[in-house]
Amino acid sequence: MSTFVELPPDQYSRTAFANFDAAATDFRIDNARALMWLSQLAYETGKPQTIDAVRNVWNFVSIFPFVEHKVDVTASFDTCGIWGERADAVLIAFAGTDPAVWETLATDFNIPRTPDTDTHAGFQAALDAVRTEIGQAIARSQQIHKPLFIAGHSLGAALAVLAAQFADSAGAAPRGVYGFGMPRAGGERFQMAYNNNARLGPVTYRLVHGLDVVARIPMSAIGFRHVGRELECASGQKFDPAAPLSALGSDAPEFSLGLAPTLISRIEGLLSGHVLSPPGPGTFGPLFKYLPQPIRDHLQDSYYNALA
Protein backbone atom coordinates (compact mmCIF):
# COMPACT_ATOMS: atom_id res chain seq x y z
CA MET A 1 0.00 0.00 0.00
CA SER A 2 1.02 3.64 -0.48
CA THR A 3 0.58 7.02 1.14
CA PHE A 4 -2.56 7.50 -0.96
CA VAL A 5 -4.43 5.23 1.47
CA GLU A 6 -2.36 5.26 4.68
CA LEU A 7 -2.89 7.36 7.79
CA PRO A 8 -0.50 8.35 10.59
CA PRO A 9 -1.33 6.68 13.92
CA ASP A 10 -2.56 9.86 15.57
CA GLN A 11 -5.37 10.19 13.02
CA TYR A 12 -6.95 6.89 14.04
CA SER A 13 -10.02 7.04 16.25
CA ARG A 14 -9.10 6.10 19.81
CA THR A 15 -12.70 5.15 20.55
CA ALA A 16 -13.40 3.06 17.45
CA PHE A 17 -14.02 -0.10 19.48
CA ALA A 18 -15.47 1.57 22.58
CA ASN A 19 -18.99 0.27 21.87
CA PHE A 20 -18.17 -2.79 19.79
CA ASP A 21 -20.58 -5.61 20.68
CA ALA A 22 -19.22 -9.04 19.80
CA ALA A 23 -22.39 -10.71 21.06
CA ALA A 24 -24.63 -8.92 18.56
CA THR A 25 -26.08 -11.11 15.84
CA ASP A 26 -27.84 -8.23 14.07
CA PHE A 27 -26.64 -5.03 12.45
CA ARG A 28 -25.11 -2.52 14.88
CA ILE A 29 -23.91 0.92 13.84
CA ASP A 30 -21.21 0.78 16.53
CA ASN A 31 -19.92 -2.48 15.05
CA ALA A 32 -19.96 -0.90 11.59
CA ARG A 33 -17.90 2.00 12.92
CA ALA A 34 -15.35 -0.30 14.55
CA LEU A 35 -15.03 -2.51 11.49
CA MET A 36 -14.65 0.43 9.11
CA TRP A 37 -11.73 1.65 11.19
CA LEU A 38 -10.30 -1.87 11.19
CA SER A 39 -10.67 -1.87 7.39
CA GLN A 40 -8.69 1.38 7.31
CA LEU A 41 -5.97 -0.27 9.40
CA ALA A 42 -5.79 -3.06 6.81
CA TYR A 43 -4.24 -0.50 4.45
CA GLU A 44 -1.25 -0.19 6.81
CA THR A 45 0.43 -3.54 6.08
CA GLY A 46 3.57 -1.65 5.10
CA LYS A 47 3.54 0.34 8.34
CA PRO A 48 3.91 -2.17 11.21
CA GLN A 49 4.56 0.67 13.65
CA THR A 50 1.12 2.09 12.88
CA ILE A 51 -0.51 -1.29 13.40
CA ASP A 52 1.28 -1.75 16.72
CA ALA A 53 0.34 1.70 17.96
CA VAL A 54 -3.33 1.31 17.03
CA ARG A 55 -3.48 -2.25 18.40
CA ASN A 56 -2.57 -0.97 21.84
CA VAL A 57 -5.14 1.82 21.72
CA TRP A 58 -7.90 -0.57 20.62
CA ASN A 59 -7.00 -3.23 23.19
CA PHE A 60 -6.30 -6.00 20.70
CA VAL A 61 -4.38 -8.97 22.04
CA SER A 62 -2.65 -9.29 18.67
CA ILE A 63 -2.92 -8.17 15.05
CA PHE A 64 -1.23 -10.01 12.19
CA PRO A 65 -0.81 -8.28 8.82
CA PHE A 66 -0.64 -10.33 5.63
CA VAL A 67 0.28 -9.54 2.04
CA GLU A 68 0.25 -11.79 -1.01
CA HIS A 69 1.54 -10.37 -4.29
CA LYS A 70 1.43 -11.90 -7.74
CA VAL A 71 1.97 -10.70 -11.29
CA ASP A 72 0.85 -13.16 -13.92
CA VAL A 73 -0.91 -13.24 -17.27
CA THR A 74 -3.87 -15.02 -15.67
CA ALA A 75 -4.19 -12.92 -12.50
CA SER A 76 -2.29 -10.08 -10.86
CA PHE A 77 -3.06 -8.98 -7.33
CA ASP A 78 -1.68 -7.41 -4.19
CA THR A 79 -3.93 -8.75 -1.45
CA CYS A 80 -3.43 -6.92 1.84
CA GLY A 81 -5.21 -7.41 5.12
CA ILE A 82 -4.99 -8.05 8.81
CA TRP A 83 -6.49 -10.44 11.30
CA GLY A 84 -6.54 -9.90 15.00
CA GLU A 85 -7.75 -11.15 18.32
CA ARG A 86 -9.59 -9.30 21.05
CA ALA A 87 -10.87 -10.66 24.33
CA ASP A 88 -14.32 -10.90 22.75
CA ALA A 89 -13.76 -11.77 19.07
CA VAL A 90 -11.47 -12.65 16.18
CA LEU A 91 -11.62 -10.21 13.29
CA ILE A 92 -10.40 -10.15 9.68
CA ALA A 93 -10.22 -7.01 7.54
CA PHE A 94 -9.12 -6.51 3.93
CA ALA A 95 -7.68 -3.43 2.27
CA GLY A 96 -9.15 -2.18 -0.97
CA THR A 97 -7.80 -0.70 -4.17
CA ASP A 98 -4.76 1.56 -3.95
CA PRO A 99 -4.46 3.78 -7.06
CA ALA A 100 -0.66 3.70 -6.68
CA VAL A 101 -0.54 -0.11 -6.75
CA TRP A 102 -1.41 -1.21 -10.27
CA GLU A 103 -1.87 -4.84 -9.23
CA THR A 104 -4.97 -3.90 -7.24
CA LEU A 105 -6.38 -2.16 -10.31
CA ALA A 106 -5.60 -5.28 -12.37
CA THR A 107 -7.61 -7.30 -9.85
CA ASP A 108 -10.59 -4.97 -10.23
CA PHE A 109 -10.55 -5.16 -14.01
CA ASN A 110 -10.21 -8.95 -14.20
CA ILE A 111 -13.99 -9.22 -14.44
CA PRO A 112 -14.85 -12.54 -16.11
CA ARG A 113 -16.75 -14.79 -13.71
CA THR A 114 -15.35 -18.14 -12.68
CA PRO A 115 -17.37 -21.06 -14.08
CA ASP A 116 -17.47 -23.02 -10.83
CA THR A 117 -18.26 -20.34 -8.23
CA ASP A 118 -19.76 -17.63 -10.49
CA THR A 119 -17.53 -15.07 -8.75
CA HIS A 120 -15.47 -12.20 -10.13
CA ALA A 121 -12.26 -13.87 -11.33
CA GLY A 122 -9.94 -11.14 -10.05
CA PHE A 123 -11.52 -11.03 -6.60
CA GLN A 124 -11.52 -14.81 -6.32
CA ALA A 125 -7.85 -15.12 -7.25
CA ALA A 126 -6.91 -12.40 -4.77
CA LEU A 127 -8.85 -14.15 -2.01
CA ASP A 128 -7.57 -17.64 -2.80
CA ALA A 129 -4.01 -16.36 -2.33
CA VAL A 130 -4.62 -15.67 1.38
CA ARG A 131 -6.59 -18.76 2.36
CA THR A 132 -3.76 -19.80 4.68
CA GLU A 133 -4.00 -16.54 6.64
CA ILE A 134 -7.80 -16.71 6.73
CA GLY A 135 -7.45 -20.30 7.94
CA GLN A 136 -5.25 -19.10 10.81
CA ALA A 137 -7.93 -16.65 11.92
CA ILE A 138 -10.61 -19.33 11.61
CA ALA A 139 -8.56 -21.76 13.67
CA ARG A 140 -8.01 -19.17 16.38
CA SER A 141 -11.72 -18.34 16.49
CA GLN A 142 -12.55 -22.00 16.93
CA GLN A 143 -9.79 -22.56 19.46
CA ILE A 144 -10.82 -19.77 21.83
CA HIS A 145 -14.57 -20.11 21.08
CA LYS A 146 -14.95 -16.47 20.11
CA PRO A 147 -17.09 -15.15 17.22
CA LEU A 148 -15.57 -14.26 13.87
CA PHE A 149 -16.19 -10.90 12.17
CA ILE A 150 -15.04 -10.08 8.62
CA ALA A 151 -14.88 -6.65 6.99
CA GLY A 152 -13.35 -4.68 4.17
CA HIS A 153 -13.49 -1.47 2.18
CA SER A 154 -13.78 -1.26 -1.61
CA LEU A 155 -12.06 -4.27 -3.20
CA GLY A 156 -11.55 -5.43 0.38
CA ALA A 157 -15.30 -5.60 0.91
CA ALA A 158 -15.66 -8.00 -2.02
CA LEU A 159 -12.86 -10.10 -0.53
CA ALA A 160 -14.71 -10.04 2.78
CA VAL A 161 -17.79 -11.79 1.38
CA LEU A 162 -15.65 -14.38 -0.40
CA ALA A 163 -13.73 -14.93 2.85
CA ALA A 164 -17.03 -15.31 4.70
CA GLN A 165 -18.10 -18.00 2.27
CA PHE A 166 -14.76 -19.77 2.78
CA ALA A 167 -15.03 -19.49 6.57
CA ASP A 168 -18.54 -20.94 6.51
CA SER A 169 -17.35 -23.90 4.45
CA ALA A 170 -14.68 -24.47 7.11
CA GLY A 171 -17.28 -24.61 9.87
CA ALA A 172 -16.70 -21.09 11.18
CA ALA A 173 -19.63 -19.03 9.96
CA PRO A 174 -19.02 -15.33 10.73
CA ARG A 175 -21.21 -13.51 13.20
CA GLY A 176 -21.11 -10.43 11.02
CA VAL A 177 -19.75 -9.38 7.60
CA TYR A 178 -19.46 -5.63 7.04
CA GLY A 179 -18.61 -4.20 3.61
CA PHE A 180 -18.00 -0.52 2.92
CA GLY A 181 -18.25 0.66 -0.69
CA MET A 182 -18.51 -2.97 -1.80
CA PRO A 183 -18.43 -3.79 -5.53
CA ARG A 184 -20.51 -6.68 -6.82
CA ALA A 185 -18.54 -9.87 -6.23
CA GLY A 186 -20.32 -12.36 -8.46
CA GLY A 187 -23.26 -13.28 -10.64
CA GLU A 188 -26.82 -14.37 -9.97
CA ARG A 189 -25.86 -17.96 -9.13
CA PHE A 190 -23.36 -16.70 -6.57
CA GLN A 191 -25.92 -14.27 -5.16
CA MET A 192 -28.53 -16.99 -4.69
CA ALA A 193 -26.09 -19.42 -3.06
CA TYR A 194 -24.81 -16.72 -0.70
CA ASN A 195 -28.11 -15.10 0.25
CA ASN A 196 -29.94 -18.42 0.65
CA ASN A 197 -27.34 -19.51 3.18
CA ALA A 198 -28.89 -18.48 6.51
CA ARG A 199 -25.42 -18.20 8.03
CA LEU A 200 -24.23 -15.64 5.45
CA GLY A 201 -26.88 -13.59 3.66
CA PRO A 202 -28.75 -12.24 6.70
CA VAL A 203 -25.54 -11.23 8.56
CA THR A 204 -23.86 -9.48 5.61
CA TYR A 205 -24.23 -5.71 5.63
CA ARG A 206 -23.31 -3.39 2.74
CA LEU A 207 -22.89 0.27 3.59
CA VAL A 208 -23.05 2.76 0.71
CA HIS A 209 -22.09 6.39 1.18
CA GLY A 210 -23.64 8.88 -1.21
CA LEU A 211 -22.85 8.39 -4.89
CA ASP A 212 -20.01 5.93 -4.29
CA VAL A 213 -19.30 4.64 -7.78
CA VAL A 214 -17.54 1.45 -6.67
CA ALA A 215 -20.70 0.23 -4.94
CA ARG A 216 -22.37 0.39 -8.37
CA ILE A 217 -19.90 -1.80 -10.30
CA PRO A 218 -19.44 -4.19 -11.97
CA MET A 219 -22.82 -3.32 -13.42
CA SER A 220 -25.83 -5.55 -13.00
CA ALA A 221 -26.42 -5.09 -16.75
CA ILE A 222 -23.47 -7.43 -17.40
CA GLY A 223 -24.71 -10.07 -14.98
CA PHE A 224 -23.22 -9.11 -11.60
CA ARG A 225 -25.27 -9.07 -8.40
CA HIS A 226 -24.89 -7.81 -4.83
CA VAL A 227 -25.27 -9.96 -1.73
CA GLY A 228 -26.47 -9.23 1.79
CA ARG A 229 -28.49 -6.22 2.91
CA GLU A 230 -27.76 -2.58 2.21
CA LEU A 231 -27.77 0.64 4.21
CA GLU A 232 -27.31 3.96 2.41
CA CYS A 233 -26.69 7.53 3.47
CA ALA A 234 -26.48 10.76 1.47
CA SER A 235 -23.17 12.35 0.53
CA GLY A 236 -21.58 14.01 3.53
CA GLN A 237 -24.27 12.75 5.89
CA LYS A 238 -24.27 10.15 8.68
CA PHE A 239 -25.57 6.61 8.50
CA ASP A 240 -28.83 6.45 10.47
CA PRO A 241 -28.84 3.54 12.93
CA ALA A 242 -32.64 3.61 12.91
CA ALA A 243 -32.96 3.39 9.12
CA PRO A 244 -34.15 0.03 7.82
CA LEU A 245 -31.79 -2.21 5.92
CA SER A 246 -32.77 -3.26 2.42
CA ALA A 247 -34.43 -6.58 1.82
CA LEU A 248 -32.11 -9.51 1.37
CA GLY A 249 -31.50 -9.85 -2.37
CA SER A 250 -31.52 -6.14 -3.14
CA ASP A 251 -29.13 -5.28 -5.96
CA ALA A 252 -29.10 -1.54 -5.20
CA PRO A 253 -27.54 0.83 -5.95
CA GLU A 254 -27.65 0.81 -9.72
CA PHE A 255 -24.87 2.40 -11.74
CA SER A 256 -27.10 4.83 -13.63
CA LEU A 257 -28.94 6.41 -10.71
CA GLY A 258 -26.24 8.84 -9.62
CA LEU A 259 -24.94 9.98 -12.96
CA ALA A 260 -27.36 12.76 -13.89
CA PRO A 261 -27.42 14.45 -10.45
CA THR A 262 -23.63 14.24 -10.28
CA LEU A 263 -23.13 15.93 -13.64
CA ILE A 264 -25.65 18.65 -12.83
CA SER A 265 -24.18 19.37 -9.41
CA ARG A 266 -20.65 19.42 -10.83
CA ILE A 267 -21.66 21.98 -13.48
CA GLU A 268 -23.49 24.07 -10.88
CA GLY A 269 -20.45 23.94 -8.61
CA LEU A 270 -18.08 25.04 -11.33
CA LEU A 271 -20.36 27.89 -12.40
CA SER A 272 -20.69 29.11 -8.82
CA GLY A 273 -16.97 28.85 -8.18
CA HIS A 274 -17.31 26.30 -5.41
CA VAL A 275 -15.32 23.09 -5.03
CA LEU A 276 -17.78 20.28 -4.44
CA SER A 277 -15.63 17.71 -2.65
CA PRO A 278 -14.07 18.18 0.80
CA PRO A 279 -10.34 17.68 1.40
CA GLY A 280 -9.25 14.55 3.22
CA PRO A 281 -6.64 13.20 5.62
CA GLY A 282 -3.14 11.92 4.92
CA THR A 283 -0.39 13.13 2.62
CA PHE A 284 -2.58 13.65 -0.44
CA GLY A 285 -5.74 14.63 1.44
CA PRO A 286 -5.70 18.27 0.29
CA LEU A 287 -6.02 17.08 -3.31
CA PHE A 288 -9.18 15.06 -2.61
CA LYS A 289 -11.30 18.17 -3.10
CA TYR A 290 -10.65 17.95 -6.84
CA LEU A 291 -12.05 14.43 -7.14
CA PRO A 292 -15.46 13.82 -8.75
CA GLN A 293 -18.07 13.20 -6.08
CA PRO A 294 -18.70 9.52 -6.97
CA ILE A 295 -15.01 8.84 -6.29
CA ARG A 296 -14.73 11.17 -3.30
CA ASP A 297 -17.76 9.51 -1.69
CA HIS A 298 -15.97 6.17 -1.93
CA LEU A 299 -12.79 7.02 -0.03
CA GLN A 300 -12.17 5.60 3.43
CA ASP A 301 -12.63 8.83 5.37
CA SER A 302 -16.04 9.34 3.77
CA TYR A 303 -17.12 6.11 5.46
CA TYR A 304 -15.55 6.49 8.87
CA ASN A 305 -16.74 10.09 9.06
CA ALA A 306 -20.27 8.98 8.12
CA LEU A 307 -20.06 6.49 11.01
CA ALA A 308 -18.56 8.92 13.54
Q: Are strands 176-180 and 186-187 parallel, antiparallel or unpaired?
A: unpaired
Asked if residue 291 belongs to a domain, the reply is no
Asked if residue 28 belongs to a domain, the reply is yes
Domain that holds residue 106: 9-255+296-306
Torsion angle, CA of 137/116/111/181, rounded to 10 degrees? -40
Q: Angle CA(200)–CA(23)–CA(162) in degrees, nearest 5? A: 25
Question: CA–CA separation, 36 vs 142, rounded Å?
Answer: 24
**CATH code of the domain covering residue 200:** 3.40.50.1820
Q: What is the pLDDT of residue 290?
A: 85
pLDDT per position as a tens digit, 151-204 = 999 999 999 999 999 999 999 999 999 999 999 999 999 999 999 999 999 999
Q: Give me the number of domains the chain comprises.
A: 1
71-80, 114-123, 256-265, range with the lowest pLDDT: 256-265
Q: What is the pLDDT of residue 266?
A: 53
Asked if residue 278 belongs to a domain, the reply is no
Asked if residue 273 belongs to a domain, the reply is no
Q: Are strands 148-153 and 90-94 parallel, antiparallel or unpaired?
A: parallel
Asked if residue 50 belongs to a domain, the reply is yes
pLDDT per position as a tens digit, 230-271 = 999 999 999 999 999 999 999 999 997 545 555 455 545 545
Asked if residue 276 belongs to a domain, the reply is no
Give me the mean pLDDT over the 70-87 stretch. 95
Asked if residue 269 belongs to a domain, the reply is no
Q: What is the pLDDT of residue 267?
A: 47
Q: In what order do the strands lie in the sheet with 90-94?
A: 62-70, 77-85, 90-94, 148-153, 176-180, 204-209, 229-233
Per-residue DSSP letter, 195: H
Give me the mean pLDDT over the 273-285 stretch. 70
Q: How high is the mean pLDDT of the chain?
A: 93
Asked if residue 63 belongs to a domain, the reply is yes
pLDDT per position as a tens digit, 35-61 = 999 999 999 999 999 999 999 999 999
